[in-house]
Chains A and B, each alone.
Chain A
């Protein structure tokens, strides 16, 4: 079993609800709290397992804003686990979830150096490394209704941009959607083989723009003169 997330970049609106839900659930979860530094002060900062960056792709009018949520990719080749000297970082053989044993971590930051996706953040209060657990304390909790045994970020996403499932099973929903939509990995060239995949935005014609009249030769000459003079 290889549990992971598939994130649809076509429908993500960048509302950060997944990041907030993640913070809320995990603050009291197995690796919580996610410490905040100076939360009500001038320069607030803190630990997050999930961060959303927005990118501008292409040039106007063929341009698009792409919101890119990133959390732990639960890589097949998890170098963060390989480099960990204490054995605090480990990858569960049964479902591929990468976790940090908070009782063993010495806070050397080495795993964060080895992670290309910025998934690991040091908690200065506990002195240990913290990261996305794929809500391991939710997805197996039999006290929860079966429909809620999903990571907090997936449950909360208002546009249903996030999908959770077993990427080893070719018949699972996540595998099917990756197949149909051409799901891809971030930085495949590094060879970490991340489990999480992203679905590219659907190809659309650029929005109709107001027609600009073709400039006449006289106007072009005038424009060229104006530019030449201001230089």
Chain B
């Protein structure tokens, strides 16, 4: 699959944004590990909303006819893309009502605000889960057609949200720093293991072959000619395949930048006075996740490639 920059920015930024907002709602509304101050909550909340918005706006850049983008909320009963849009649009008023209410009450947590926080968390999970399901529901791409995909999207979204919240707390030296950092380390470990399982799983030969595509299952089949003299939409959209050596090197880069380095830095951030490392943590994580998302597309092999020379997917 062709890795489009707009979709990479969309999934990484909105995943991190919604992940951060879910954790902020959790830690601020229920005072876990000492809770978040009003300033911390609003800073992290605005950062999360900004990231989520950047992601969602970026997603519209890959539309060829954005005039009709408003129609994308029409098929919530069948389409995960539609569901993702509807959940994202519902998320904003609820989250803004929660953060606004908290600000209005001067940080006092009432039962109603806690209810809004729970709703914010649920909608945030729904958005990120839907993002994963957009890819996981496609039977045409076996590397995506697995429940590991939404699980990984959720884990990576929450882990990157955790890293961002740790960063904010490293600057403010808030009381919840230790608890948030520990949670983040757990989430990073879970996301790293999830991704490891995914990389093993997609290595297993399975799925459609040139034989099932052409119906000749009792003889060898190879493409003789594609019947076209130049590239067309299908080749551009689905034809890209990263060289295997590059894929293996980039997987190491993903592990280093998105999981190992952020985990080490988060552990260091738990010590007070290490806030110089905070920005480095965020950059490493976002760069690692961008590479991870690039690979997610570059490694996906659509079955249409069987009609353009691939023997199997």
Contacts and interface: CB of A to CB of B under 8 A. Distances in A.
A106 B72 contact: yes
Interface string A90-113: 000000000000011111111011
Interface in B192-227: 208, 210, 212-216, 219-227
A75 B141 CA distance: 18
B80 interface: yes
B220 A186 contact: no
Contact of A83 (B81, B212, B232, B308): B81
A189 B220 contact: no
A159 interface: no
A68 interface: yes
B139 interface: yes
A106 B237 contact: no
A191 B220 CA distance: 23
B138 A55 contact: no
Interface string A62-87: 10011010100000000101111111
B140 A115 contact: yes
Contact of B307 (A105, A118, A128, A200): A118
Interface residues of A, number: 64
Interface stretch (A42-50, A161-169, A222-230): A42-50
B307 A53 contact: yes
A187 interface: yes
B215 A79 contact: no
B264 to A, nearest CB: 37
Interface stretch (B19-27, B63-71, B99-107, B272-280): B63-71
B230 interface: yes
Given A66-B216, A116-B208, A83 B227 contact: no
Contacts of B82: 85-86
B221 to A, nearest CB: 5
A103 to B, nearest CB: 8
B79 interface: yes
A38 to B, nearest CB: 9
Interface string B288-303: 0000000000000011
Interface string B108-119: 000000000000
A81 B81 CA distance: 12
A116 B139 contact: yes
Given A53-B225, A113-B140, A190-B140, A83 B78 contact: yes
B138 A68 contact: no
**Chain B binding site: helix, strand, loop or mixed by DSSP?**
mixed
A45 B65 contact: no
A57 interface: yes
A126 B65 CA distance: 8
Contacts of B219: 57-59, 62
Given A83-B137, A107-B64, A57 B221 contact: yes
B227 A54 contact: yes
Contact of A187 (B73, B213, B230): B213
B228 interface: yes
Contacts of A2: none
B243 interface: no
Contact of B74 (A47, A51, A62, A87): A87
B139 to A, nearest CB: 5
Contacts of B234: 112, 118, 121
A194 B71 CA distance: 28
A113 B63 CA distance: 14
B8 to A, nearest CB: 15
Given A57-B219, A86-B72, A121 B232 contact: yes
Nearest to A51: B227
Nearest to B141: A113
Contacts of B221: 55-57
Given A43-B230, A85-B85, A86-B71, A106 B63 contact: yes
Contacts of A116: 139-140, 208, 303-304
Contact of A122 (B72, B73, B233): B233
7 tightest A-B contacts by CB?
A107-B64, A127-B65, A127-B64, A106-B68, A86-B71, A85-B82, A107-B65
23 contacts: A52-B227, A53-B225, A54-B223, A83-B78, A83-B137, A86-B75, A87-B71, A105-B65, A106-B67, A106-B69, A106-B72, A108-B63, A110-B79, A114-B138, A116-B139, A118-B234, A122-B64, A128-B64, A187-B213, A189-B208, A190-B140, A190-B208, A192-B139
Interface of A: 14, 16, 19, 43-48, 51-59, 62, 65-66, 68, 70, 79, 81-88, 103-110, 112-118, 121-122, 124, 126-128, 184-192, 198, 200
